[in-house]
Amino acid sequence: MILTVTPNPSLDRTYEIPALDRGAVLRATADRIDPGGKGVNVSRAAAAAGHRTLAVMPLGGPAGAALAGLLGAEGIEVAGVPVAGQTRSNISAVEPDGTLTKINATGPELTAAESEALLTAVGEYSEGADWVACCGSLPRGLPPEWYAELVARAHRAGARIALDTSGPSLTAALRERPDVVKPNAEELAQAVGRPLVTLGDAVKAAEELRASGARAVLASLGADGQLLVDGDGAYFGSAPVAAVRSNVGAGDASLAGFLVAGGTGVRALATAVAYGAAAVQLPGSLMPAPADLVPTAVTTTDDVPLARPLTEPVP
């Protein structure tokens, strides 16, 4: 079973617009609402792959009820922790050439009691979970060490942990030895405090996160593909796509692919890359199902020049 934790879930509203004119009233040509939040997306993709999944999250107000309703309609089991604040809505505006502008709302401030209720729920549900995927930003009210505490409790319950977060909450959680962390290029650069210009820079940065406690690092590098750095070595996979429709949730889809394929090793990396490539070809934050995947070539970094420049370097 894949348990997911999304401390700051959202309703993801996507508007297709002719052009993003600042200061104008924009008329959408199409719109959609998806259940949102990084752990929520991992659950959606895992469920689509036929895996048992339970999505734990705080839920508040009408938006929280709407989110639970959308997930229920997708057949996803939700363990909602009631909170007094209102679940947020995140907005994406997509232009015809695929350019996407996103506004992520702050979300509710959780009280100390709500924070503890969320930790307790995860601790209880972690018993019997193969993986606990802890994903996304922390809402106001949760300290940067919150994920560290969550990783410790889920480990005590016997589950393996995948962590997808950034900044101080990522750094603080490394000491609890998460089984895999999934930074994107920007988050990886931020974690080591250095620019990433080549594939080799990304490998070095991932090795540094391992030295700080992560057992494995699955680094997603946008159009450049993905790296897996674990105790056995460093591996690289990529799958160029003809046209990107929406990259929202591509990292979440990748992490889901990695976990449904076992969560370790080169086969899991290849599945992660296939999920990322499929996700960017779907609208909004729609998650791929197995039928959307195409086979992906994965090579080890021994075969890939470490000096190869990233097409999207992080300055």
Ligand X SMILES: Nc1ncnc2c1ncn2[C@@H]1O[C@H](COP(=O)(O)OP(=O)(O)O)[C@@H](O)[C@H]1O
The interface partner of residue 37, options being ligand FBP, ligand X, none and the CB cut-off 5 to 8 Å by kind, is ligand FBP
Bridge partners (DSSP) listed for residue 56: 5, 79
Q: Which of 196, 240, 244 is nearest to 219 (CA)?
A: 196
Distance between CA atoms of 13 and 25, rounded to whole angstroms? 17
Please, which residues have CB within 8 angstroms of residue 20's CB and are 6 or more apart in sequence? 26, 93, 95, 99, 101
- Tell me if 249 contacts ligand FBP by CB under 6 A: yes
Distance between CA atoms of 272 and 40, rounded to whole angstroms? 17
Cβ neighbours around 246 below 10 Å, total: 20
- Tell me if 197 contacts ligand X by CB under 6 A: no
Distance between CA atoms of 182 and 180, rounded to whole angstroms? 7
Distance between CA atoms of 248 and 200, rounded to whole angstroms? 26
Q: How far is the CB of 267 from ligand FBP (least distance, A)?
A: 23
- Tell me if 136 contacts ligand X by CB under 6 A: no
230 as an active site residue: the answer is no
> Which residues, 95 to 114, sit near ligand FBP by CB under 6 A?
104
Of 8, 220, 246, 271, the one binding ligand X (CB under 6 A) is: 220
Active-site hit among 34, 224, 230, 252: 252
Distance between CA atoms of 271 and 5, rounded to whole angstroms? 22
How many residues bind ligand FBP (CB under 6 A)? The answer is: 17
Of 56, 151, 172, 248, the one binding ligand FBP (CB under 6 A) is: 248
Do 82 and 30 touch, CB atoms closer than 8 A? no
Q: Which of 263, 287, 208, 239 is nearest to 3 (CA)?
A: 263
- Tell me if 301 contacts ligand FBP by CB under 6 A: no
Tell me whether residue 86 or residue 198 sits nearer to ligand X (CB atom). Answer: 198
Determine the interface stretch with ligand FBP among 5-13, 59-67, 222-230, 261-269 (rule: CB under 6 A).
5-13
Return the sign of the alpha-carbon dihedral for residues 100, 202, 230, 224.
positive
Q: How far is the CB of 158 from ligand X (least distance, A)?
A: 28
- Tell me if 282 contacts ligand X by CB under 6 A: no
Of 33, 117, 157, 244, the one binding ligand X (CB under 6 A) is: 244
Angle between helical axes of 265-279 and 250-260 (0-180°, round to 10) = 150
What residues line the site for ligand FBP (CB under 6 A)?
A: 8, 10, 12, 36-38, 41, 90, 104, 136-137, 248-252, 285
Q: Which residues are catalytic?
A: 252
What residues line the site for ligand X (CB under 6 A)?
A: 184, 220-223, 225-226, 240-241, 244, 247, 250-251, 254, 273, 276-277, 280
